[in-house]
Amino acid sequence: MTETQGCVVWLRNDLRLYDNPALDRALAQGGPVTLLYVLDDESAGHWRPGGAARWWLHHSLDALSADVAKRGGALVLRKGRAERVVPAVVREAKAASVAWTRRYTPWGIAVDKALKARFDTDGIEATSHQGAVLFEPWTVATKAGDPYKVFTPFHGACRKIGAPKPLPALGGRKRWRSAEVKSDTLDSWKLLPTGPDWAGGLRETWKPGEANAVRQLEAFLDDAVVTYDDDRNRPDRPGTSMLSPRLHWGELSPHRIWHAALARQADGRRKTADKGVESFLRELIWREFTHHVLFHFPHIPDEPLRPEFADFPWQYDKDTLKAWRFGRTGYPIVDAGMRQLRAIGWMHNRVRMITGSFLVKDLLLPWQDGEKWFWDELVDADLGNNTIGWQWVAGCGPDAAPYFRVFNPVTQGEKFDPEGCYVRRFVPELAKLPATWIHKPWEAPADALAKAGVTLGETYPRPIVDHKPARERALAAFGRIKKAA
């Protein structure tokens, strides 16, 4: 291979310049380095990025393109099936090699294997690199050599292994040149809303791009991580990192986040952060667990891991599904969560569990309905996290919630949003209700409702289901599945 022929770096969910092993490998070769992003909606099928994710992708690519240009390089954009597009760009760039970061979705693995075989035949060096996870899924196994299905022992195994440190910044290279290859314009992909502008809340909440991701990480570790163990379950407080879209799109590597957190923990001046950092690291390993399970059980985005759930007696009701989707269930904490999702493309993790439980257990609607809705609405729509989260709450996945665990939306609201601040923000029609009634407005006295300007059934819906009998119905249905198992 002639080094000066250069390399194409095929970017996917690694939209960053720092701690990117594929890019580092290409730069080390010394020739032209051409960064390529392919919008391949065909290979992913119905799991192609949803509306909110496409919004994020547009802005993250825009920021990355500017960062690459500052260093003399170019970001090439192409749309189409990756199995055709990537070889075409490699030919046009006259590159001798191509590099990418490994991915773990079923279709991603299939495409990458096919391309490696093709490049091998064509005499093009194709290398794949670890950069999306801390631990490759095949490196963490039980003593019997099997994949883990329970999180706690998986967590213990990962902590024993230890995560590799991030790479030095760009291997010391501040500038490079790229081959002259034609590129689509980002606007031509139409990733942003083309009709009604539903992205106002996203613009107010997020600033995609690697530089902003770094600032967000540093701000979290400087402040919120100290109380993270207590506040991460409180949607009324800014207690979480909100780094999930940064990790999903790869604006930050998990290695960089992991070791930055460890460094903060080691800082003698910030010993109060120890507990928070440990809880945060545990959440990072939960993300690893979801990718581990997805890799070993690739059917789970569409089918339950526990096969007996294929015969679960789900109820199909378009009206209740619509009420849940748009935050009109009559349960304020559920509605606040669903409206937060619509407004900013993200939902607090505690509320994801509450809204998920309500869908599958109070309404007995299929978990796949929730999974698909979240997929289109989340800026951090990650196949592993989204799938395992929904299978967890439905009781049909790995390390799943017990079938008898049915979240009570009233007590959950009172416990984790005691003053109703979260509900007031996203369900403003209830903003003037006292905290005593804000999570159960149907029990509020008439004068309290009148004073708050609330008319049940008009300004705010009555509950679409009574939780107590709905819980009993769910327990009976899940109990039958348990016996069948």
Q: Which of 430, 406, 402, 405 lies closest to 417 in space, CA to CA? A: 430
| Intervals of the chain under pLDDT 70 | 1-4, 171-173, 268-273, 401, 483-485
Catalytic residue selected from 92, 189, 212, 349? 349
Catalytic residue selected from 56, 324, 390, 437? 390
Catalytic residue selected from 56, 249, 367, 437? 367
Q: What is the pTM of this model?
A: 0.95
pLDDT score recorded for residue 265: 83
249 Cα distance to chain centroid: 9
- 56 catalytic? Reply is no
Asked whether this chain's domains 3-132 and 133-164+209-296 adopt the same fold, the reply is no
Instruction: Please give the backbone phi and psi of residue 276, each rounded to the nearest 5 degrees, phi first.
Output: -65, -40
* Domain at 307-484: CATH code: 1.10.579.10
Whole-number Cα distances in Å, 480 to 229, 305, 406, 477? 37, 17, 16, 5
What is the residue whose two structure tokens read 């109380």? 227
pLDDT score recorded for residue 271: 58
Q: Which CATH number fits domain 3-132: 3.40.50.261, 3.40.50.2300, 3.40.50.620, 3.50.50.60?
A: 3.40.50.620
Catalytic residue selected from 42, 283, 303, 429? 283
Report the Cα–Cα distance between both ends of the chain, in Å, rounded. 57
DSSP string, 432-443: TS-TTTTT-GGG
Q: CA-CA distance, 96 to 31, in Å (whole number)?
A: 10
pLDDT score recorded for residue 2: 43
353 CB neighbour count, 10 Å cutoff: 20
pLDDT in tens, 323-369: 999 999 999 999 999 999 999 999 999 999 999 999 999 999 999 99
pLDDT score recorded for residue 154: 97
What CATH fold (topology level) applies to the domain 133-164+209-296?
A: 1.25.40
Half-sphere exposure of 329 (CA within 13 A, CB side): 28
Structural domain boundaries in the chain? 3-132, 133-164+209-296, 307-484
- 442 catalytic? Reply is no
DSSP annotation of 444 reads: S
pLDDT score recorded for residue 131: 96
Whole-number Cα distances in Å, 343 to 32, 66, 190, 473? 42, 28, 20, 32
- Per the rule left: phi > 0, alpha: psi between -120 and 50, beta: everything else, 15 is beta
- 390 catalytic? Reply is yes
pLDDT score recorded for residue 204: 98
- 314 catalytic? Reply is yes
Whole-number Cα distances in Å, 386 to 346, 351, 356? 12, 14, 11
Catalytic residue selected from 100, 286, 373, 375? 286
Residues in the chain: 485
- 189 catalytic? Reply is no
- 206 catalytic? Reply is no
